[in-house]
Amino acid sequence: MSSKIFDTVIVGAGVSGLSCAIELKIENIENILLIEKSDNFLILLELFIKMVKELINIGVIKLLTLLEISLLMVD
């Protein structure tokens, strides 16, 4: 069995784990291992995305872009 060395290991592929992996990738860190215990992770992620979209649609969550935030700071 060959071994592989990772720059970063993230335990948990929930929202925080995925966000962390994305940010690391943006910072050009390539060797990332993301560990998730759930076999049905993709189904749970799709459900989470649908729930967030619905919360945005009914106005419970307000999603702002960086441009919108910067314009708020100017006022």
pLDDT value of position 2: 65
Write down the pTM of the prediction.
0.58
Per-residue pLDDT of 4-60, as tens digits, reads: 899 999 999 887 888 888 889 889 998 999 998 988 878 878 888 888 888 888 888
Contact indicator for 13, 34 with CB cutoff of 8 Å: yes
| pLDDT attached to residue 50 | 87
Helix, strand, coil percent content, the chain, rounded in steps of 5: 50, 10, 40
Residue 1 pLDDT exceeds 60 = no
- Pairing between strand 8-11 and 32-35? parallel
The residue to which tokens 């592929």 are assigned: 13
